[in-house]
Amino acid sequence: MSRLDLVPFRLLIDRVPAVVRRHAGQFFWPTALPLLAVGVALAIAQVRWTESVFDTASGGGNMFAFFGLFLLIVVLSLGVYVLVYLALAVVAVDAVAGRQVSMGRAWRFCLRPTVLGTSVFAGIAIGISFTACCIPGLFVAPLLALLVPVMVEEGKVGLDAVSRTIELVRFQGRRGLSDSGWAQSFVVLFVGTILSYAASTVTQGPFVILQQVLLIRQTASGQAADPGAVVGSLWLQVPAQVLGALVTVLVWGYWAFGLALLYFEIRRRKEADDLERAIDDIVVGPTAQPLATSSPAEP
């Protein structure tokens, strides 16, 4: 085995939580607060819209106004989510590269028009691929998973960044599919998705259950539906959004740091392997056995 072989993927995955914990103090609150703000605003706007639906005195005017406000906050939330994830990815790349972590640099980087444009393009491509029975999305999402590390570390944007990302992810190691960049990107995204669903169930599940219990008790008592009770139960979404935002930062941190570690490992392996083969060709000739394969494996 060559000493340039990839670090065992299981060990790389095991390292991610420790790296996230080490740097959580630097990125947690600067990224959690924007998510908290838009999450609470979204919950309040939904409650106000629901209140306006039951408000017959306004003749429906307030309903349309609050629905427009709700849609505006949804769009704003999507923009904040994109910026927060990009900032987390920048922090992760800087931390893994051994540079000083700076949230100011992270925000400035992700606000560059070329960076935003490239990220939006990739997001649209992934979204469109998932609309086709989901199967193409499972291929495209890992293929573009290393886009942000490429933009941060190599300064590439646009199609240059996309092509470089695909080049890295398609790198095939010496041990087959389990050693491929695509398969490992897929695993990082898959584990992060499972963590996201688990965290969402733990943080928001109790509030959803309590909400349903309140409504079922009212229905079982034989009373007519009380609009005030329906609206009141929706206020439970506010604390649910608060907890959800805090957990989301940690889950996204897992994604960001996992992909950053994978990016540096694949790039090291790919570029070092190219150099290794070039040296072998010079020293022993292109048809000879590579020197590195004859060296003993490191423990």
User: Residues of the chain whose pLDDT is less than 70?
Assistant: 1-8, 55-61, 174-178, 221-232, 272-299
The total number of structural domains that make up the chain: 1
Q: Write down the pLDDT at residue 256.
A: 96
- Domain-embedded: residue 7: no
- Domain-embedded: residue 299: no
Six token digits for residue 63? 């309903």
- Domain-embedded: residue 291: no
Q: Write down the pLDDT at residue 56.
A: 61
Q: Write down the pLDDT at residue 94.
A: 96
- Domain-embedded: residue 294: no
Q: Write down the pLDDT at residue 258.
A: 94
Q: What's 261-272 look like in SS3?
A: HHHHHHHHHHHH
- Domain-embedded: residue 226: yes
Q: Write down the pLDDT at residue 289.
A: 43
Q: Write down the pLDDT at residue 228.
A: 61
Q: Write down the pLDDT at residue 223.
A: 62
**Dist CA 213 CA 236 (whole Å):** 12
Q: Write down the pLDDT at residue 274.
A: 53
**Dist CA 164 CA 43 (whole Å):** 40
Q: Which domain holds residue 42?
A: 16-261
Q: Write down the pLDDT at residue 62.
A: 76
- Domain-embedded: residue 10: no
Q: What's phi and psi for 172, nearest 5 deg?
A: -110, 120
pTM: 0.83
* Cβ(279)–Cβ(29) below 8 Å: no
- Domain-embedded: residue 2: no
- Domain-embedded: residue 255: yes
